[in-house]
Chains A and B, each alone.
Chain A
């Protein structure tokens, strides 16, 4: 069998063997890693890495160096498209504000679609993004922002379908989009912002008129102490809360500080689109 002997001496076969050994080694490593992980999962609180936690606390705000590759991981050489499904009967205003902010920072391709599950979407919702340069091809953009008017109970975001489950809820999507802007916050501020968002989304938007009034009083009190809800600058808490107040307050009377604060929000350029939409 000369052919067989030839193959025996062939460097290609050797290379193949070496590759197999390498694969086996990597498999063992993976197995060990998975076993380690499964241990941490079964042990309560073992997954909190205290050393890592303190490191985050001490790190300086990273403003200005937001790199999408760092934030979002591997780039496959094409447009990263954020898909947001929203119900036209309840437009997610805060996400439109965040869209404006994203556009200031990145080269964003924004598109609006209507899903076949809804019909008769009002024309101002179809034209909620400003005109864009039509001459550019899709891959010239850094980020895609695809808004789909669809029959969904709550706003929903789909981004990386391989690694992320769909994200439900306007507040959660807002947090994600804001994080793309790359402003890091210390844990206390971040938690405060989060709690304002929760209050806005759950108590103000969906609560009874009694609850609404209570939240508005709380906001009013907070705004008595500082110009914005959290700290000295406009934060995500202001964006989400203001949008919810605009949409949900309805018959409830708006206190003085809140009115003043809403005026300042209205003056922000990123709110332009939202106010246009409401008219």
Chain B
């Protein structure tokens, strides 16, 4: 039946251009070949189907359109342990790999990051045709399998469920995958460098991202995004325990919050609007509206045309803003403690995920101190100077210097996470509170993971007059930020805060090298799909 269809399609070809014609011809040939093969296969099956005693035990049932509600318990693959030995269970999983060998066929069934070896062998339960059918199911197809869990003598090293295998009695294809995959999952999880030695393929970043849905099925991706979800959860959990309120802020805004250069403009009916660079203004307004401690998890947009390993144009921001009593270190300590709680939670609850990622991307375990190490900017500059870097007192840290300082701090204190406090006022935004004892410095801070900045924060100016003064100093059009300044006129408590990039935290915690690995569907200046 497929043969006819394909031939029909080939006839309908329209001549568009030489190239397209050639391509189509080739494709048609390919399709014809494929159809031939399938027809042959079908014919083979037909000829032998009469003697098949097990024909009810396999096949491709009708599409699941919610016709039935069978009383069937589908056991998860991770639960297939020696305790379940000799039980008959149903499992839904993907065909990870299949290997036919004469009268038996070995399958590796996968569900999320877990897999188990399964076996169909010719016997009183399975016929020759059934084994053949099982061996011919395309990779990545989803199957329902009934089988007996059996203990194995020798551990199966290639699977996560090493102590058992599944002896298949029934196998049905629920969703058939196309025979050709744009990338092979084994290639996608191969550690970098290992492919070169054995002459096997690895998949490059762009191919991965172009076929993100398949790439996300790899054990590594599964682990990365489970861990990322853990970060969000731990962030929320910790802050709510500390008495914070979660807020939702608009992302379509009328004025740019941090300088107008790197914002996306969107048309908004008869006028234009911007996509929010940070929920900064709204967090601060909530503070002025007596919410005291707020946080917000949501998308943040940056229209920077920088194609680096750590910049995205849309990412998830974890933002904190908090009113304090007398010293902004009250806030710094709270934020740092939140981060430490996240690291501890990941260390204790996501061991498997961290190990899985480490298999493909080896990195040292993330180290931190409690309470978090807090250095002052001056000290950082002194450490850099001691290492032979020449830089001015009020110069901003360049990215290489930032990384070098991270290495120096790691060497001395053995921590991958630290705070750099008291930045020079000149390199911070206009709303940053100046240091009372030295006007050249400010009450601002950055937090670093593995030598890369993940959080930038400060005590904000809550006094409208000083805010105006600083805005004028920065040549900012007062008319544009009038609403912002006005919100502090009716009594504003002293407050400070900061914002973290979720993708960056995941990337740096796991020691990955590209932020796109920790963004599910990354957006950068060159990528808008998938």
Q: Is the CB of B371 within 8 A of A150?
A: no
Number of interface residues of B (CB under 8 A): 31
Query: For the complex, is A184 an interface residue (Cβ under 8 Å from B)?
Result: no
| Nearest CB in chain A: distance from B311 CB, A | 28
Q: Is the CB of B378 within 8 A of A83?
A: no
Q: Is the CB of A116 within 8 A of B368?
A: yes
Query: For the complex, is A158 an interface residue (Cβ under 8 Å from B)?
Result: yes
Q: Is the CB of B385 within 8 A of A76?
A: yes
With both beta carbons as reference points, the residue of chain A lying nearest to B388 in the complex is identified as A162
Query: For the complex, is A77 an interface residue (Cβ under 8 Å from B)?
Result: yes
Compute how far the CA of A161 lies from the CA of B414 in the bound complex, rounded to whole angstroms: 12
Compute how far the CA of A76 lies from the CA of B386 in the bound complex, rounded to whole angstroms: 7
Q: Is the CB of B381 within 8 A of A148?
A: no
Contact of A161 among B368, B412, B437 (CB under 8 A): B412
Which residues of chain A are near B369, meaning CB under 8 Å?
113-116, 148
Which residues of chain B are near A83, meaning CB under 8 Å?
412-413
Which residues of chain A are near B347, meaning CB under 8 Å?
116
Query: For the complex, is B367 an interface residue (Cβ under 8 Å from A)?
Result: yes
For window 10-46 of A, CB contacts with B under 8 Å fall at none
A78-B413 contact in complex given A114-B369, A137-B437, C-beta closer than 8 Å: no
Instruction: Work out how many contacts link A and B, with CB atoms closer than 8 A.
Output: 70
Query: For the complex, is B96 an interface residue (Cβ under 8 Å from A)?
Result: no
| Nearest CB in chain A: distance from B346 CB, A | 11
Interface residues as binary, B342-381 with A (CB distance below 8 Å gives 1, 0 otherwise): 0110010000000000000000011111110111101101
| Nearest CB in chain B: distance from A57 CB, A | 33
Q: Is the CB of B413 within 8 A of A146?
A: yes
Q: Is the CB of B414 within 8 A of A115?
A: yes
Compute how far the CA of A219 lies from the CA of B94 in the bound complex, rounded to whole angstroms: 74
| Nearest CB in chain B: distance from A165 CB, A | 11
| Nearest CB in chain B: distance from A144 CB, A | 9
Which residues of chain B are near A158, meaning CB under 8 Å?
411-413
Which residues of chain A are near B376, meaning CB under 8 Å?
78-79, 137-139
Query: For the complex, is B519 an interface residue (Cβ under 8 Å from A)?
Result: no
Query: For the complex, is A58 an interface residue (Cβ under 8 Å from B)?
Result: no
Query: For the complex, is A85 an interface residue (Cβ under 8 Å from B)?
Result: yes
Q: Is the CB of A148 within 8 A of B370?
A: no
Contact of A162 among B368, B381, B387, B421 (CB under 8 A): B387
Query: For the complex, is A160 an interface residue (Cβ under 8 Å from B)?
Result: yes
Q: Is the CB of A139 within 8 A of B378?
A: yes
Q: Is the CB of B412 within 8 A of A116?
A: no
Q: What does DSSP make chain B's interface, helix, strand, loop or mixed?
A: mixed
Query: For the complex, is A117 an interface residue (Cβ under 8 Å from B)?
Result: yes
Compute how far the CA of A77 lies from the CA of B383 in the bound complex, rounded to whole angstroms: 10
Compute how far the CA of A115 lies from the CA of B344 in the bound complex, rounded to whole angstroms: 11
| Nearest CB in chain B: distance from A154 CB, A | 15
For window 397-441 of B, CB contacts with A under 8 Å fall at 408, 411-415, 421-422, 437
Query: For the complex, is B471 an interface residue (Cβ under 8 Å from A)?
Result: no
Query: For the complex, is B382 an interface residue (Cβ under 8 Å from A)?
Result: yes
Contact of A78 among B366, B382, B387 (CB under 8 A): B382
Which residues of chain A are near B383, meaning CB under 8 Å?
76, 78
Which residues of chain B are near A138, meaning CB under 8 Å?
374-376, 379, 421
With both beta carbons as reference points, the residue of chain A lying nearest to B379 in the complex is identified as A78
Which residues of chain A are near B413, meaning CB under 8 Å?
83, 113, 146, 148, 158
| Nearest CB in chain A: distance from B350 CB, A | 14
Compute how far the CA of A259 lies from the CA of B383 in the bound complex, rounded to whole angstroms: 46
For window 152-189 of A, CB contacts with B under 8 Å fall at 158, 160-162
Q: Is the CB of B437 within 8 A of A113?
A: no
Q: Is the CB of A117 within 8 A of B367?
A: yes
Interface residues as binary, A97-140 with B (CB distance below 8 Å gives 1, 0 otherwise): 00000000000000101111100000000000000000001110
Q: Is the CB of A161 within 8 A of B378?
A: no
Q: Is the CB of A148 within 8 A of B414?
A: yes
Compute how far the CA of A148 lies from the CA of B371 in the bound complex, rounded to whole angstroms: 10
Compute how far the CA of A239 lies from the CA of B56 in the bound complex, rounded to whole angstroms: 85
Q: Is the CB of B414 within 8 A of A79?
A: no
Which residues of chain B are near A116, meaning CB under 8 Å?
343-344, 347, 365-370, 415
Which residues of chain A are near B412, meaning CB under 8 Å?
81, 83, 158, 161
Compute how far the CA of A161 lies from the CA of B415 in the bound complex, rounded to whole angstroms: 15
Compute how far the CA of A260 lies from the CA of B408 in the bound complex, rounded to whole angstroms: 47
Which residues of chain A are near B370, meaning CB under 8 Å?
113-114, 116
With both beta carbons as reference points, the residue of chain A lying nearest to B343 in the complex is identified as A116
Compute how far the CA of A76 lies from the CA of B384 in the bound complex, rounded to whole angstroms: 10
Which residues of chain B are near A85, meaning CB under 8 Å?
414
| Nearest CB in chain A: distance from B332 CB, A | 13
Compute how far the CA of A117 lies from the CA of B366 in the bound complex, rounded to whole angstroms: 10
A77-B382 contact in complex given A116-B347, A161-B412, C-beta closer than 8 Å: yes
| Nearest CB in chain B: distance from A113 CB, A | 4
Compute how far the CA of A83 lies from the CA of B387 in the bound complex, rounded to whole angstroms: 18
Which residues of chain B are near A111, meaning CB under 8 Å?
371
With both beta carbons as reference points, the residue of chain A lying nearest to B348 in the complex is identified as A119
Q: Is the CB of A115 within 8 A of B367?
A: yes
Which residues of chain B are near A76, meaning CB under 8 Å?
382-383, 385-386
| Nearest CB in chain A: distance from B163 CB, A | 30
Which residues of chain A are near B421, meaning CB under 8 Å?
138
Which residues of chain B are near A160, meaning CB under 8 Å?
386
A162-B367 contact in complex given A83-B412, A116-B343, A139-B378, C-beta closer than 8 Å: no
Q: Is the CB of B382 within 8 A of A162?
A: no
Q: Is the CB of A113 within 8 A of B371?
A: yes
Residue among B347, B366, B373, B413 with most chain A CB within 10 A: B413
Which residues of chain B are near A139, meaning CB under 8 Å?
376, 378-379
Interface residues as binary, B192-214 with A (CB distance below 8 Å gives 1, 0 otherwise): 00000000000000000000000
| Nearest CB in chain A: distance from B41 CB, A | 57
Compute how far the CA of A78 lies from the CA of B437 in the bound complex, rounded to whole angstroms: 16
Compute how far the CA of A76 lies from the CA of B389 in the bound complex, rounded to whole angstroms: 12
Which residues of chain A are near B387, meaning CB under 8 Å?
162
| Nearest CB in chain A: distance from B122 CB, A | 54
Compute how far the CA of A102 lies from the CA of B375 in the bound complex, rounded to whole angstroms: 21
Which residues of chain A are near B371, meaning CB under 8 Å?
111, 113
Compute how far the CA of A150 lies from the CA of B408 in the bound complex, rounded to whole angstroms: 18
With both beta carbons as reference points, the residue of chain A lying nearest to B369 in the complex is identified as A113
Q: Is the CB of A78 within 8 A of B373?
A: no
A77-B367 contact in complex given A116-B343, A162-B386, C-beta closer than 8 Å: no
Which residues of chain A are near B414, meaning CB under 8 Å?
85, 115, 148, 150
7 contacts between A and B (CB under 8 A): A77-B378, A78-B376, A79-B376, A115-B369, A116-B366, A138-B379, A161-B411
Top 6 A-B residue pairs of the complex, sorted by shortest distance between their CB atoms: A78-B382, A76-B382, A113-B369, A78-B379, A114-B370, A116-B368
